[in-house]
Amino acid sequence: MLNQIVDLETYPLGDDGFRKNCKAKIDIDGVLVMPEFMKDQAVTALKQDGEAHKHLAYYTASNHNIYLKPHDPNFADDHPRNREIISSKGCITDDQIPENSVLRLLYNAAEFRDFLCAVLGEKNLYAYADDMSSINLHYAEEGKELGWHFDNSSFAITLMVQKPEDGGVFEYVKDVRNADAGEMNYALSENVLNGKVPVNTLAMDDGALVLFRGRNSMHRVTPTIGHTTRMLAVLAYNSEPNISLSESARKTFYGRV
């Protein structure tokens, strides 16, 4: 059924040559954008599901630093390590996504998961062990934004369901730090926060799939403008089985455990 929701002619997920080209691109650029990945009827179904379940969304508005870690008293409050950024969004979780959703069909499809493994250089990918974290649908109404930050995971997989009228732009600066080597590069991080560094932007229309390596690249989503809610699906996998998001993280992000 994957060919009913994904344009497999443009994106032959099972083809070795196509996989190698995709891997080469993300290895060089840190990002892979696949426009019109989902077929129009699948995108329409996702929008309808999103609107129908929007009332279940848990909304948060929080201050955080770019590392998504607690305040470090070894640094000043206005140091990039502690400087507070704001993020605000709504979210419905895996257990609120309909069983017949095309998101679930895509997430569980063996061909799609094999493609991700080949492109991301992973041996296997596993769903979260908890019933909330594997598939999330994010809502950003007017004024909602995602502040500058680094990801804790090595990759993120997102699907644009509905772009807003304006704003809601994904911006990033590649290779700001080297987390594995412990090189935080605070000076460059501060310049990004102060708007002194040119940013890259990603154009994501409805139905676009994006693979992004955000562990070392600072990124944000600018405030949504207009009355059309930005809807973005996040497809989260783990490299190891039986991994759950912590109860504290679930409480913070989802408002329940």
pLDDT digits (tens, 9 = 90+) for 60-104: 998 999 998 889 999 999 999 999 999 999 999 999 999 999 999
Q: What phi and psi values does residue 239 have, to the nearest 5 degrees?
A: -80, -15
pLDDT at residue 252 tops 80:
no
Domain containing residue 40: CATH number: 2.60.120.620
User: Is 141 within 8 Å of 224 (Cβ atoms)?
Assistant: yes
Angstrom distance (rounded) from CA 181 to CA 177 = 9
Which runs of E-coded beta strand occur in the chain?
31-34, 58-64, 85-92, 135-140, 146-149, 156-162, 166-167, 170-173, 200-202, 209-212, 218-221, 224-225, 230-235
pLDDT at 205: 97
Q: Please, which pLDDT band fits residue 245 given cuts at 50, 70 and 90?
A: confident
The domain tally of the chain equals 1
Where in the sequence is the domain holding 101, given as residue range(s)? 2-254
Q: DSSP secondary structure string, 28-90?
A: HHSEEEETT-B-HHHHHHHHHHHHHTGGGPEEEEEEE-TT-----TTS-TTSTTT--EEEEEE
Please give the pLDDT value at position 189.
Answer: 98
Sheet containing 31-34, strands listed edge to edge, beginning at the edge strand earlier in sequence = 31-34, 209-212, 156-162, 230-235, 135-140, 85-92, 58-64
What pLDDT score does 246 carry? 80
| Average pLDDT of the residues of the chain | 96
Q: Phi and psi dihedrals of 22, rounded to 5? A: -65, -40
Mean pLDDT of 169-190: 97
Q: What is the pLDDT, as a whole number, of residue 254?
A: 86
> According to the model, what pLDDT value does residue 203 have?
87
Per-residue pLDDT band for 41 (boundaries 50, 70, 90) equals: very high
250 pLDDT more than 90: no
Neighbours of 120 (CB within 10 A): 20
Q: State pLDDT tens for residues 120-161.
A: 999 999 999 999 999 999 999 999 999 999 998 899 999 999
